[in-house]
Chains A and B, each alone.
Chain A
Amino acid sequence: MKYLQELWSSRELLWNLASREVRGQYKRTIFGQLWSLANPLVLMVIYTFIFGFIFKSNPPPGNPSGLDIFALWLLCGLLPWTFLANVVNASASSLVANAGLIQKVSFSRAVLPLSQVGSNAYNWAFEMAVLLIAVSVVGGFVLPWLPLLLVGMFLLAVFASGLGLLFAVANVYFRDTQYLLSIALQMWMYLTPIIYPMRLVRTESDKWGGIFGTPVTVAEIYNLNPMVHFVELFRALIYDNRFPSGANWMICIGWAVVTLVVGFAVFRRNERKLAEIL
């Protein structure tokens, strides 16, 4: 409890650090905040050309929204994913990057990775707003789902914070973490139904049945990936315009809470040693 109190008292610092990141990031660029759209847009164009046009991953049309635009369907999964990947990467290096500060000033260290969540959430919110406008323009009825979408975004931010805290500590002990992470994140992305629909995985899994004679199917293992459920949640809300299933919500909440608790527990245990180890 005392730890949480201490963290709560440094919320102003957290806010200041996050806005330092946001303001410092695009300083002296001509396009400013628009740069945060550049990366997802380029990815969108590439993936739409390859998986929408050449390979025809053919996601089912939005139900009940009736939308059938690959690029928008893709972005519903891609934007949450890039947010997560950016947060994990930035948090992982946040302690090492601020080594000087940690060795000279006493403050609640958790604000360093958490401020990365804040600044990336700002960019993400901006991207999502653009996506929502695009979906609305082509006839999606997304505005009534906005409150639930914000809850979903909050859950993913909580999940990302937990991972960020864990990897921030891991990177202090093992500098390999940041390189390992970029590889792991690439694999993780392709293991998440972002550029192909979940339906394809299910079809293949049903064809094979239990692997090696066990009753465990490929789809069951696939579903252990928490991002599968987060992407499903965002697609249901933005693309399909329907209420995600109760099970879907519960899984997302579960992953978010457990990851955050574990992240804080590990971080707290190592916090005092940081100044010496860095």
Chain B
Amino acid sequence: MSDIAVHVDHVTKSFRMYHERNQSLKSTVMRRKTSVHEDFLALKDVTFDVPSGSTFGLIGSNGSGKSTLLKCLANIYYPNQGSITHNGKLAAMLEVGSGFHAELSGRENVFLNGSILGMSRKEITRKFEEIVDFSGVEQFIDQPVKNYSSGMYVRLGFAIAINVQPDILVVDEVLAVGDQEFQEKCYSKFNDLKHSGKTVILVSHSMDVVDSMCDRVAWLSHGMLQEVGEASTTIASYLDSLHEGQGE
């Protein structure tokens, strides 16, 4: 296994901002073009490496391009320029419980959601106990998920996603929901992953979490990489920049 888990190489991603978005046939036929647009650069020439077995944090203010970068990592968006290469199986947890079917039971949803995340039936059967155990919804596993509380919903979703057992796990701020106890359970799960040599990339607005969890941190601002390095120093310079802004 190589030392670098993810290599982000000069990634640029732009979105089209539509001044007139023609989503109807009529306007297309009348104007003979689908739209008038201008490009908005969400990521500008971002380059960094994530070392294997590390926990890597992405920080930055709202709209700085963190989520776009995460989606590029997760193969949901594709960069316009540059490339992202990764060694090993990558799984992304951008939202938990996406694809749950409200009328189906928790059990059926574990199998459905697991296969959406790329697990085979065999794998899911093997890990079923573990998933249910971790989520703490044993009692309700045969109830339709529409009767679940939002906490139960998230816990079950998280339990499935974490059991995909990827080499690289990409996590958006999905843990804001769920009680203290469950959050701690999740963080200890991340630590387990780290100890078994897996890589975790996470986005968070909570600097305490980033500071305690991450070895290295990248700071994005307006789509540009400001700084990448040791967690504490990067966080410090990010916070400094915020306070400077306030001082002016």
B residues near A276, Cβ cutoff 8 Å? 15, 77
Check B103 against A16 for contact (C-beta < 8 Å): no
Contact of B24 among A102, A105, A174 (CB under 8 A): A174
Check B25 against A176 for contact (C-beta < 8 Å): yes
B residues near A13, Cβ cutoff 8 Å? 115-116, 118
Q: How far is the CA of A180 from the CA of B29 in the complex (A)?
A: 15
Check A28 against B103 for contact (C-beta < 8 Å): yes
Check B23 against A12 for contact (C-beta < 8 Å): no
**Does B191 interact with chain A (Cβ within 8 Å)?**
no
Check A12 against B121 for contact (C-beta < 8 Å): yes
Which B residue's beta carbon lies closest to that of A15?
A: B115
B124-140 at interface with A (beta carbon < 8 Å): none
**Does B101 interact with chain A (Cβ within 8 Å)?**
yes
**Does A173 interact with chain B (Cβ within 8 Å)?**
yes
A90-109 at interface with B (beta carbon < 8 Å): 98, 100-107
Question: How extensive is the interface on chain A, given as a class?
Answer: 20 to 34
* Cβ proximity bits A157-180 to B, threshold 8 Å, 1 near / 0 not: 000000000000000011111001
Q: How far is the CA of A102 from the CA of B75 in the complex (A)?
A: 11
Q: A102: shortest Cβ distance to chain B, in Å?
A: 8
**Does B76 interact with chain A (Cβ within 8 Å)?**
yes
Check B92 against A105 for contact (C-beta < 8 Å): yes
Which A residue's beta carbon lies closest to that of B144?
A: A27
With contacts A104-B94, A105-B98, A173-B23 known, what are 19 further pairs, Cβ within 8 A? A16-B111, A17-B112, A20-B104, A20-B112, A100-B95, A103-B76, A105-B74, A105-B76, A105-B94, A105-B99, A105-B117, A106-B75, A106-B76, A107-B118, A174-B28, A176-B26, A180-B25, A275-B76, A276-B77
The interface centre, meaning the residue of B28, B77, B99 with most chain A CB atoms within 10 A of its CB, is: B99
**Does A56 interact with chain B (Cβ within 8 Å)?**
no
Check A20 against B23 for contact (C-beta < 8 Å): no
Q: Which DSSP category, helix, strand, loop or mixed, fits chain B's interface? A: loop
**Does B48 interact with chain A (Cβ within 8 Å)?**
no
**Does A199 interact with chain B (Cβ within 8 Å)?**
no
Which B residue's beta carbon lies closest to that of A98?
A: B99
Check B117 against A27 for contact (C-beta < 8 Å): no
Q: How far is the CA of A177 from the CA of B25 in the complex (A)?
A: 8
Contact surface of A with B, Cβ cutoff 8 Å = 12-13, 16-17, 20, 23-24, 27-28, 98, 100-107, 173-177, 180, 272, 275-276
* Cβ proximity bits B62-83 to A, threshold 8 Å, 1 near / 0 not: 0000000001001111100000
Q: B201: shortest Cβ distance to chain A, in Å?
A: 15
Q: A223: shortest Cβ distance to chain B, in Å?
A: 28
Check A174 against B112 for contact (C-beta < 8 Å): no
Check A104 against B95 for contact (C-beta < 8 Å): yes
Q: How far is the CA of A107 from the CA of B112 in the complex (A)?
A: 13
Q: A12-B121, A106-B92, A173-B34 are in contact. Are A101 and B74 (CB under 8 A)?
A: no
Q: What are 27 A-B contacts with C-beta separation under 8 Å? A: A12-B120, A13-B115, A16-B111, A17-B112, A20-B108, A23-B108, A24-B103, A24-B104, A27-B103, A27-B104, A100-B95, A100-B98, A103-B76, A104-B94, A104-B95, A105-B76, A106-B74, A106-B75, A106-B76, A107-B116, A107-B117, A107-B118, A174-B24, A175-B24, A176-B23, A275-B71, A276-B15
* Cβ proximity bits B216-245 to A, threshold 8 Å, 1 near / 0 not: 000000000000000000000000000000
Q: A173: shortest Cβ distance to chain B, in Å?
A: 7
Q: How far is the CA of A275 from the CA of B99 in the complex (A)?
A: 15
Q: A190: shortest Cβ distance to chain B, in Å?
A: 23
The interface centre, meaning the residue of B71, B78, B115 with most chain A CB atoms within 10 A of its CB, is: B115
A residues near B15, Cβ cutoff 8 Å? 276
Check A24 against B116 for contact (C-beta < 8 Å): no
Q: A217: shortest Cβ distance to chain B, in Å?
A: 32
B residues near A177, Cβ cutoff 8 Å? 25
Q: A4: shortest Cβ distance to chain B, in Å?
A: 18
Q: B32: shortest Cβ distance to chain A, in Å?
A: 14
B residues near A107, Cβ cutoff 8 Å? 116-118
Q: How far is the CA of A264 from the CA of B94 in the complex (A)?
A: 28
Q: B28: shortest Cβ distance to chain A, in Å?
A: 7
